[in-house]
Each structure stands twice: as structure tokens, then as C-alpha cells.
Structure 1
């Protein structure tokens, strides 16, 4: 199911702009966020946010991305 996504206008302590789903408890106030659109996957919303803020990342609560496993090739 698609969800509405927003990105924070203010960078956090690590200089990241954080992407949130509309129902996230950490969603910034309406004056401190920018609407990104409706997306089926958090990754798509993060890519959209990176068009405005190249250092945008997903919220660990509502937009976690799967961990990549490092594959060692012999």
C-alpha cells in the first residue's frame, strides 16, 4: 500500500535530512518538512528526497533500509 512521505527541511546533527512516512511519530512539524509524494517503497521516497537534499536518509523507525551484507569472493 502506498504512503505519503516527507523530508525534514532542517538537517540533523550528522547533516542529514531525514525522510519520514506520514504516520511516523518522529515526523517534523508541517513548517519543518517538505512533501515528497506518494510511494510504495521507502527507498523510492529517499531517492526523491535526494534530488533536493543529496544527503537525505531514511528514518530508522519508519523508513529502515535493509542491511547490505558484504559478500567475500574467493
Structure 2
């Protein structure tokens, strides 16, 4: 299991990116919301969408869930 966060600041396309805790592109502490431990990025993105409907996996650490 990995620990995931969602970026509270939206990207230029409106997405809120979901990151693993080990990601090189993890947002600064003031710009991330803890999601918790999940078996996959799919579950983490699903959790993020409860807060930010337009959530997407990070291209670098959650590529399987990166759709835009």
C-alpha cells in the first residue's frame, strides 16, 4: 500500500493531481490534502474525487491513473 495526497491547487486544465507520498513532484505541505493509504491509484483518485470532482493521477507517480 502507498500513501496518497491530492494537490489542492488545480492545474491549468482544472485537474487536481493525485500523488504518492514518494513522488518527486509532491506539492508543498500547504498545497496538499492527505487521502490515506490505498492499494492502487485508482482507489486514491476515487477518494480525491469526493473533494475535487476533477481529479487525475500524476503522470510521474500514478501514470496508470493519468488521463489528461
Runs of at least 5 residues in structure 1 that lack an aligned partner in the other structure: 67-74
Inter-partner Cα distance in structure 1 for 2:64 and 2:21:
17
Match in the other structure for 2:58? 59
RMSD: 1.4
Larger Rg: 1
Any residues of structure 2 matched to 1:17-56 within 5 Å, and which?
17-56=16-55
Question: Could you say which structure has the higher strand fraction?
Answer: 2
For 1:65 and 1:51, locate their aligned partners in 2 and report how far apart those are by CA, in whole Å.
20
Give the count of matched residue pairs: 66
Match of 1:12 in 2: 11
TM-score, normalised to structure 1, is 0.85
SS in 1 for 2:22: coil
Runs of 4+ that moved beyond 6 A: none
Question: Gapped runs of 5+ residues in structure 2?
Answer: none
Q: Whole-Å Cα distance in 2 between the matches of residues 35 and 18 of structure 1?
A: 12
